[in-house]
Chains A and B, each alone.
Chain A
């Protein structure tokens, strides 16, 4: 194999090492990684804890949303029932969809990722443990408050896709809608934080030798998942922000009477909403691939085809959003294209299904609860996929769109494609984190009750839809032949709930959380998460030589446990993990990891404070929360960029690697770039909104400000870029460990100020033309883009001030500094984004 980083692959032959490990090495590792106790648990950042509690929280939301659906099924058991009043029912179905999608499905797969990925990659933890903790707490606090809105009758009631103008101030004057917009917008931040973490974790912290071609399928799926989140979620964040701006400040993005368009919401929402389905499905499919392989006790058939299918699904899923909008009167060319694309996306799903079937055929199935869930899931998902092909045919969709046929379709897809694999995964991976495995007997009950319940509930709904029953109805009229079918569905929903109840009983009886005394590899799987572990993960980080290392190297577990592989102890006496190269996973450097901290929790609570206060229009309280949030975040960051006197260390086998590096090889560089992709997408989608509204309502467009000023803005932004670059060069020319003087931070601060000046010109220029954000769709989108740039610039200024503070405390020394790198890169990004944004708006010939 060709070396990616110049690392000599011959060195791999030194492992497993043979010389004895020093006394007390393991005890030191245990001491370094030991978890806080009692109330201090809240400070824990280790993925074993955060991942587990994340899964439990997501499961609680699943149960809560499930209970809502039982309420709805009772209401629909007979025509004109009085069990739930109309407005309660409308809140119930909105919350059921919203909670299942945003508080269960996405967080659940992300939680499973946080819990399993470090183990599967044999890393000590994910690269940013505090970010995981923040993501979890933001989700738990925000999601908890959001759900509680139901108990005081303030839950949103506009349906989970919240189409304006039904959700605009005029038709939804209560704060129910703001709850949704701000609550969900906030929870998305948590999802994005997790995605950044997962991308860097997968690409940079794999065990040495685990090339891309040897990654477990779940890891591939999580990589696709995280990339898709970065591209898709900005779109939903943007549309929630725009609608909130319309509601709070009367900016008419979606108001057709003032040059806005309600369809803009649908495009933005479904650009997120369709990939969302695959964001949920792909990781679950990854779990399936791993469970299938273990159930059949044979490697997955068609590994590369499966990877190809994952990548293709991720790619195509961004091109099918408008198939949710066939009934809106789109032009024929568009419907034709989206119809074909919707068919195309079923091909990769077909590949995955047949990979699983072929794997089962090539081995001998060992029946177990996970195996049952896997086989059941293939059947259910296939049925849901086929009704999906049906609704991909436009004229057929015109008939069944927004009826119970669709309800049946997506429940088959999501339950078969996500819920069943996840329940299978609960049984499969329970042994990794519980001292006792779950019961096979109760597991079978769980499976059969859920499997039967699913079909009894949702199979009749196909027909209910054909009989003309629209979805989202709180009741239906008698004498329409719908009574019997609905009764059957209601019975089925309780059968399914009984299955979930049996699972809970099983958990109560058998699940006992543990970090180091687990039940172990109950199903004889071949991947690294089944190595013996403690809180520090594996004692040493193994060298991976195949896709199923535990099957191929029977001695691996013992050697790892005896410290015969990488990083058997701690070099610096701090938490560490090994960073490897993105493609071939060649060891590159030792990353220092932060330990327990209360600041991610504090930051999450105050972030929640900002959004909750905005919901009730308590702007002062929101601003105060914002200040505290910034303080908590900066405190959290303060200790993460540590300068350490030791520059190099032996990671085992006499291989000497640097300790923390900066620049393109470092994990922070990758994380920042991932974040920039996400923020940049928000800017791009805003520009799309501007051009889209011009296409619909060119009559309201007015001319942009004068060209001279536009040129001036461009010059200022280029100067900001230059100042950022200068700051970086300045530090690079300073000798190692030397203090470079006031130059670098001042240069960076000058860059941030230039950004602000350019923005000021941009804003005053547009207002000088008489354009108001409240006047037209043009005004609203122009000022929305400027506001987005404003947020970025404010962040840049805060970061520059933070850099100055660190410089004053002597923490800014040559020749490289992570904090400076991050600040400079961010300023550079802001300058480029400002340049593209203002040029597109100002040079666009409309008006």
Chain B
């Protein structure tokens, strides 16, 4: 699963939506330009040092500086600037549309994800995972709860900062279904290196089904149970985590109502299954040193397994 998120080809050069697409075109042109100009400068150096006398003489005057140092870069850079600005004009447009909105809040060191209704109310909360319909632009309201973070899914779009006291808008769109890795790209202290998330794009029909399923479960009383649930509550997990329909209503940490469906754990750093759940609860400080969740190393293996088992049921 992780291989699909990252790796080869480099995500910056492997766009999966219109907002990353144009930047890829730009990137190839810029790379080509860089290689060509480096070649020109190296060739000029070669001529200057070892070239035939006639060539050296041409290169050895002030006119060479006017041509190579002023005229050539002046023309190329002006052309590049205008072409680049035209190509990517729509990327810098102000965002005013009525696209569906998701509020993503950077927190030390995970992403809170809240799906908004057209009136701007939060209808569903999740963490470290953003679900999108294929082919439809979605506007993200980027915020921060503490320090400056940054939101980046290279397959889908360039990055944008999440600043305390401000809301930055970013429009993204996926043109094919799949999972796309994302990270916090602004240094935010401690385990900044281990702060990631996943953007999951569904075909429109699948997306509708996913949405209905989620909303439906939110409306029900949470009937899952057993020793796992009891241990979860007794260990105080509910002080930080919320599980809808239960007495666990903490708001400090990720909402665990749908934790069983998530692709990853620990903010995009581990695949999600019973083994990693057990490891995370028992040794979260070993896996991601400095994160805000203590390691529950006083719980026995059986207890951890019970809690993990219950969490897996939280679909």
- A residues contacting B by CB (< 8 A) are 85-87, 90, 157-159, 163, 165-166, 171-172, 256-257, 261-263, 301-302, 305, 327-329, 332, 335-336, 339-340, 343-344, 346-347, 350-355, 357-363, 365, 375, 378-379, 382-383, 386-387, 389-390, 393-403, 463, 465-468, 470-477, 479-482
Report chain B residues within 8 Å CB of A172.
189
Given A327-B160, A329-B161, A354-B68, does the pair A85, B289 have CB atoms closer than 8 Å? yes
20 examples of A-B residue contacts, CB within 8 angstroms: A165-B147, A166-B188, A171-B146, A262-B164, A329-B161, A336-B92, A343-B80, A350-B73, A351-B65, A354-B65, A354-B69, A357-B41, A365-B48, A386-B38, A389-B30, A399-B154, A400-B12, A402-B159, A473-B192, A481-B8
CB of A90 within 8 A of CB of B38, answer no
Q: How far is the CB of B272 from chain A (nearest CB, A)?
A: 14
Closest to B149 in A: A166
Inter-chain pairs besides A358-B59, A400-B12, 16 sampled, C-beta below 8 Å: A90-B190, A256-B166, A257-B165, A263-B163, A302-B62, A305-B62, A305-B69, A328-B160, A344-B77, A346-B77, A361-B59, A362-B60, A390-B31, A390-B34, A470-B152, A475-B193
Report chain A residues within 8 Å CB of B30.
389-390, 393, 396
CB-based closest 8 A-B pairs: A256-B165, A398-B158, A362-B60, A473-B193, A354-B69, A481-B7, A361-B60, A361-B48
CB of B158 within 8 A of CB of A463, answer no
List B residues 29-72 near A (Cβ within 8 Å).
30-31, 33-34, 37-38, 41-42, 44-45, 47-49, 51, 56-62, 64-66, 68-70, 72
Report chain A residues within 8 Å CB of B70.
347, 350-351
Stretch touching chain A among B81-89, B119-127, B217-225, B306-314: B81-89
Q: Quick one: which of A347, A357, A397, A467 contacts B74, CB cutoff 8 A?
A: A347
Report chain B residues within 8 Å CB of A480.
2, 5-7
Query: B277 in the interface, Cβ–Cβ < 8 Å?
Result: no
Query: B150 in the interface, Cβ–Cβ < 8 Å?
Result: yes
CB of B165 within 8 A of CB of A261, answer yes
- B residues contacting A by CB (< 8 A) are 2-3, 5-8, 10-13, 20, 22-23, 26-27, 30-31, 33-34, 37-38, 41-42, 44-45, 47-49, 51, 56-62, 64-66, 68-70, 72-74, 77-78, 80-81, 84-85, 88, 91-94, 108, 146-148, 150, 152, 154, 157-161, 163-166, 168-169, 181, 183-194, 269, 289-290
Report chain B residues within 8 Å CB of A301.
60-62, 64-65
Closest to A258 in B: B165
Q: How far is the CB of A36 from chain B (nearest CB, A)?
A: 47
Given A350-B70, A358-B65, A393-B30, does the pair A399, B7 have CB atoms closer than 8 Å? no
CB of A395 within 8 A of CB of B158, answer yes
Task: Please report the C-alpha to C-alpha distance between residue A382 and residue B7 in the assembled complex, in whole angstroms.
Answer: 29
Q: How far is the CB of A733 from chain B (nearest CB, A)?
A: 56
CB of A466 within 8 A of CB of B10, answer yes
Task: Please report the C-alpha to C-alpha distance between residue A387 and residue B33 in the assembled complex, in whole angstroms.
Answer: 10
CB of B161 within 8 A of CB of A332, answer no
Q: How far is the CB of B297 from chain A (nearest CB, A)?
A: 19
Closest to B77 in A: A343
Closest to B15 in A: A399
Report chain A residues within 8 Å CB of B38.
379, 382-383, 386
Task: Please report the C-alpha to C-alpha distance between residue A394 and residue B159 in the assembled complex, in whole angstroms.
Answer: 11
CB of A479 within 8 A of CB of B2, answer yes
CB of B34 within 8 A of CB of A386, answer yes
CB of B85 within 8 A of CB of A336, answer yes
Task: Please report the C-alpha to C-alpha distance between residue A202 and residue B72 in the assembled complex, in whole angstroms.
Answer: 34
How many CB-defined contacts (below 8 Å) exist between A and B? 269
Task: Please report the C-alpha to C-alpha distance between residue A358 and residue B66 in the assembled complex, in whole angstroms.
Answer: 11
Task: Please report the C-alpha to C-alpha distance between residue A335 and residue B94 in the assembled complex, in whole angstroms.
Answer: 13
Q: How far is the CB of A817 from chain B (nearest CB, A)?
A: 50
Task: Please report the C-alpha to C-alpha distance between residue A197 and residue B34 in the assembled complex, in whole angstroms.
Answer: 40
Closest to B30 in A: A390
Report chain A residues within 8 Å CB of B94.
332
Q: How far is the CB of B179 from chain A (nearest CB, A)?
A: 14
CB of A383 within 8 A of CB of B34, answer yes
CB of A328 within 8 A of CB of B48, answer no
CB of B41 within 8 A of CB of A378, answer yes
Given A327-B150, A396-B23, A480-B2, does the pair A355, B69 have CB atoms closer than 8 Å? yes
Q: Quick one: which of A171, A327, A346 contacts B73, CB cutoff 8 A?
A: A346
Closest to A304 in B: B62
Given A347-B73, A473-B192, does the pair A353, B290 have CB atoms closer than 8 Å? no
Report chain B residues within 8 Å CB of A86.
190-191, 193, 289-290
Report chain B residues within 8 Å CB of A394.
88, 92
Task: Please report the C-alpha to C-alpha distance between residue A145 and residue B8 in the assembled complex, in whole angstroms.
Answer: 45
CB of B147 within 8 A of CB of A171, answer yes
Report chain A residues within 8 Å CB of B6.
467-468, 479-482
Task: Please report the C-alpha to C-alpha distance between residue A85 and residue B290 in the assembled complex, in whole angstroms.
Answer: 11
CB of B148 within 8 A of CB of A375, answer no
Report chain A residues within 8 Å CB of B163.
256, 262-263, 328-329
Q: Quick one: which of A355, A363, A473 contacts B65, CB cutoff 8 A?
A: A355
CB of A470 within 8 A of CB of B190, answer no
CB of A476 within 8 A of CB of B193, answer yes
Q: How far is the CB of A350 from chain B (nearest CB, A)?
A: 4
Report chain B residues within 8 Å CB of A360.
45, 48-49
Task: Please report the C-alpha to C-alpha distance between residue A342 and residue B95 in the assembled complex, in whole angstroms.
Answer: 26
Report chain B residues within 8 Å CB of A387.
34
CB of B92 within 8 A of CB of A332, answer yes
Report chain B residues within 8 Å CB of A358.
48, 59-62, 64-65
Q: Quick one: which of B13, B72, B185, B193 contacts A403, CB cutoff 8 A?
A: B185
CB of B68 within 8 A of CB of A350, answer yes
Q: How far is the CB of B55 from chain A (nearest CB, A)?
A: 8
Task: Please report the C-alpha to C-alpha distance between residue A381 and residue B164 in the assembled complex, in whole angstroms.
Answer: 37
Closest to B287 in A: A80
Report chain B residues within 8 Å CB of A327.
150, 158-161, 185-186
Task: Please report the C-alpha to C-alpha distance between residue A332 and residue B88 in the assembled complex, in whole angstroms.
Answer: 12
Given A86-B290, A354-B65, does the pair A393, B164 have CB atoms closer than 8 Å? no
Task: Please report the C-alpha to C-alpha distance between residue A87 and residue B11 in the assembled complex, in whole angstroms.
Answer: 29
Task: Please report the C-alpha to C-alpha distance between residue A788 and residue B247 in the assembled complex, in whole angstroms.
Answer: 55
Report chain B residues within 8 Å CB of A359.
60
Most chain B Cβ neighbours within 10 Å, of A301, A328, A359, A396: A396
Task: Please report the C-alpha to C-alpha distance between residue A358 and residue B23 in the assembled complex, in whole angstroms.
Answer: 36
Task: Please report the C-alpha to C-alpha distance between residue A165 and residue B147 in the assembled complex, in whole angstroms.
Answer: 5
Task: Please report the C-alpha to C-alpha distance between residue A332 and residue B69 in the assembled complex, in whole angstroms.
Answer: 30
Report chain B residues within 8 Å CB of A353.
41, 69
Task: Please report the C-alpha to C-alpha distance between residue A472 and residue B195 in the assembled complex, in whole angstroms.
Answer: 12
Q: Quick one: which of A262, A365, A477 contacts B2, CB cutoff 8 A?
A: A477
Closest to B69 in A: A354
Closest to A383 in B: B38
CB of B34 within 8 A of CB of A361, answer no
Q: How far is the CB of B243 from chain A (nearest CB, A)?
A: 28
Task: Please report the C-alpha to C-alpha distance between residue A470 and residue B191 in the assembled complex, in whole angstroms.
Answer: 13
Report chain B residues within 8 Å CB of A340.
81
Most chain A Cβ neighbours within 10 Å, of B3, B41, B166, B289: B41
Given A386-B38, A393-B84, does the pair A379, B45 have CB atoms closer than 8 Å? yes
Task: Please report the C-alpha to C-alpha distance between residue A144 and residue B33 in the assembled complex, in whole angstroms.
Answer: 44
Report chain B residues within 8 Å CB of A158.
187, 189
CB of B34 within 8 A of CB of A399, answer no
Report chain A residues within 8 Å CB of B10.
463, 466-468
Task: Please report the C-alpha to C-alpha distance between residue A642 and residue B191 in the assembled complex, in whole angstroms.
Answer: 60
Task: Please report the C-alpha to C-alpha distance between residue A471 and residue B183 in the assembled complex, in whole angstroms.
Answer: 11
Report chain A residues within 8 Å CB of B186.
163, 327, 402
Report chain A residues within 8 Å CB of B60.
301, 358-359, 361-363
CB of B26 within 8 A of CB of A378, answer no
Task: Please report the C-alpha to C-alpha distance between residue A354 and residue B77 in the assembled complex, in whole angstroms.
Answer: 17
Q: Quick one: which of B5, B11, B69, B193 contacts A474, CB cutoff 8 A?
A: B193
Q: How far is the CB of A367 from chain B (nearest CB, A)?
A: 9
Task: Please report the C-alpha to C-alpha distance between residue A262 and residue B162 in the assembled complex, in whole angstroms.
Answer: 11
Task: Please report the C-alpha to C-alpha distance between residue A347 and residue B165 in the assembled complex, in whole angstroms.
Answer: 38
Q: How far is the CB of A238 from chain B (nearest CB, A)?
A: 20
CB of A468 within 8 A of CB of B289, answer no
